[in-house]
Chain A
Amino acid sequence: MSAPAGDPDASPVRVLVADDDADIRDLVEFKLTQAGYAVEAVPDGISAWEAFAANPPQLAVLDVMMPGLSGIDVLRKIRESEFSSVPVLLLSAKSRDSDVDTGFAVGADDYVIKPFSPRELLHRVNGMLARAR
């Protein structure tokens, strides 16, 4: 899988991954790490917001249904923060049109429904970062 574009000497692009499901957290972390990203993976919404606020990443992948703060709550906080332009991809089993509408209305840049293709997820992450540059 191709590495993220950019200067090979530059530090890797940082991505925050938040999901309470260890399988998904691990496989997304592995997929993105293999592609050359520096991934910080956390298991809940509160940790996600703390990690984001402490060291804002260049992109965040958030599960929607998480304990503490939901992905939507975290996204809302991100959009209200001084780093509101960080691209956010929501990853969720909630597949109804209204769920997707809510995600985009709150400010998601993309919405991927579980079960998902890890390859497609990587393409979307690459595309979002390319557009953000």
Chain B
Amino acid sequence: MIVGAALLVGATVVILGACVLLIIAVVAVRARRHSRNQRDEMLLSPLRQPLITVAAGEDDDGTAAEELTWATGVSRTVLDRNIAEMLTKVRGVPAEQLVHVLEVHGAVDAAVDDLTSRSTVKRARAAQLLGLARAERTVPLLVEALGDESVEVRNSAAYALGLIGDPVAAGPVLAAIGAPERGLPAATAAEALQSMGVGISGVLRDGMADPNARTRMVAAHLSGERSFTRGLPELRRLLDFDPDLTVRETSAVAIGRLGRGEDVGILVSHTASSEPLALRRACVVALGELGETEAIPALVLLLGDADPRLAELAATALLTMGPDGRHALAGHDDEPAVRTARLLASLQKASA
């Protein structure tokens, strides 16, 4: 009994001690961060006005930018960090002037060196800085960094390539999604590719034939987002035959965005009850997005579907099709799907 009580007291003391140590550690880290922020603010203080002047595009004679180039030592490091942050906020001539300051400080060259640093944090930060500085000459190095062992570095490299926007990098970014073990998250790749202009439509078409399903999905999604109509034949093929359900759903949505009247048939065919439910729903949404009145009879039939969500999506699609679609709903007002769709539409209108 006494031994048990002693053990309990001992365990309590250990736990309390651990808690106290944890609190001390948290307070110490916060205090250190606070004091570092204060130091940074103090160091930046004399450079704050020239920085704002350049960022606001009010440095017509270049004196403020020149003043920024004079910074040395720790002040320069703090300033360069702030300039990098400012580059996420402004574009145009002010951004070009700020990049020039970074170049004079040697920050861009240092970032190139840091891309091969042993520190993951340094590599990731270096990639980001090169992107923010729109350092086009470093595209090959950033493409190489897409295969980095760290996902943070791979993400930063893709982000940087997106900022630089050179379509030359589109193929490697898309291919990096399917890289074994060192893959790039699909969302990161999609975001980077979004920034690369119309020059990537060919890469996306090729990507829809990639062996990796996530690569095909991103290529299909972006073809729809960017309205690359030349990808329509591949999208139709994916919708019909792809072995991956998500790819088929994504293709249906993309066809809804950029398809034509002739796509009503293929979308309607995949709303059949023999198809997977997720694909049927995606096709109904796509028919609404497509807005072709030829789809109205098929959508009216789906108002009585066994899946209530699908029926509601069909009603919503009809509501978005203008007078013809709304006319087709006449006589179905008592159906729960139609009531729900009308209610949702009015709520959306009210909250807008």
Q: Which residue of A lies closest to B349 (CB)?
A: A105
Restricting to B91-128, which residues have a CB under 8 Å from any CB of A? Answer: 91-95
Restricting to B56-103, which residues have a CB under 8 Å from any CB of A? Answer: 56-58, 82, 85-95
- Are B85 and A27 in contact, with the CB atoms below 8 A? no
- Are B352 and A118 in contact, with the CB atoms below 8 A? no
Interface segment, one of A9-17, A18-26, A77-85: A18-26
**Given contacts A23-B85, A105-B352, A30 and B92 within 8 Å (CB-CB):** no
Restricting to A97-118, which residues have a CB under 8 Å from any CB of B? Answer: 101-102, 105-106, 114-118
When the two chains form the complex, which single residue of A1, A27, A34, A102 contacts B90, counting CB atoms closer than 8 Å? A27
- Are A118 and B95 in contact, with the CB atoms below 8 A? no
When the two chains form the complex, which single residue of A26, A102, A118 contacts B57, counting CB atoms closer than 8 Å? A118
| Chain B positions within 8 Å of A1 at CB level | 58
**Given contacts A105-B352, A106-B352, A24 and B56 within 8 Å (CB-CB):** no
- Are B88 and A115 in contact, with the CB atoms below 8 A? yes
- Are A24 and B58 in contact, with the CB atoms below 8 A? no
**Given contacts A102-B352, A106-B352, A30 and B89 within 8 Å (CB-CB):** no
**Given contacts A23-B85, A26-B52, A116 and B58 within 8 Å (CB-CB):** no
| Chain A positions within 8 Å of B48 at CB level | 26
- Is A120 at the interface (CB under 8 A from chain B)? yes
- B contact residues, total (Cβ < 8 Å): 20
| Chain B positions within 8 Å of A101 at CB level | 352
| Chain B positions within 8 Å of A106 at CB level | 352
A117 to B89, CA, bound (A): 9
Q: Which residue of A lies closest to B55 (CB)?
A: A27
When the two chains form the complex, which single residue of A21, A30, A102, A115 contacts B52, counting CB atoms closer than 8 Å? A30
| Chain B positions within 8 Å of A102 at CB level | 352
When the two chains form the complex, which single residue of B82, B90, B352 contacts A115, counting CB atoms closer than 8 Å? B90
- Are B56 and A27 in contact, with the CB atoms below 8 A? yes
- Are A116 and B91 in contact, with the CB atoms below 8 A? yes
- Is B320 at the interface (CB under 8 A from chain A)? no
When the two chains form the complex, which single residue of B58, B91, B95, B352 contacts A30, counting CB atoms closer than 8 Å? B58
- Are B89 and A23 in contact, with the CB atoms below 8 A? yes
- Is B53 at the interface (CB under 8 A from chain A)? yes
| Chain A positions within 8 Å of B90 at CB level | 27, 115-118
A7 CB to closest chain B CB (Å) equals: 24
A117 to B96, CA, bound (A): 11
| Chain B positions within 8 Å of A23 at CB level | 52, 55, 82, 85-86, 89
Q: Which residue of B lies closest to A24 (CB)?
A: B89
Identify the A interface with B (CB < 8 A).
Answer: 1, 21, 23-24, 26-28, 30-31, 34, 101-102, 105-106, 114-120
Identify the B interface with A (CB < 8 A).
Answer: 48, 52-53, 55-58, 82, 85-95, 352
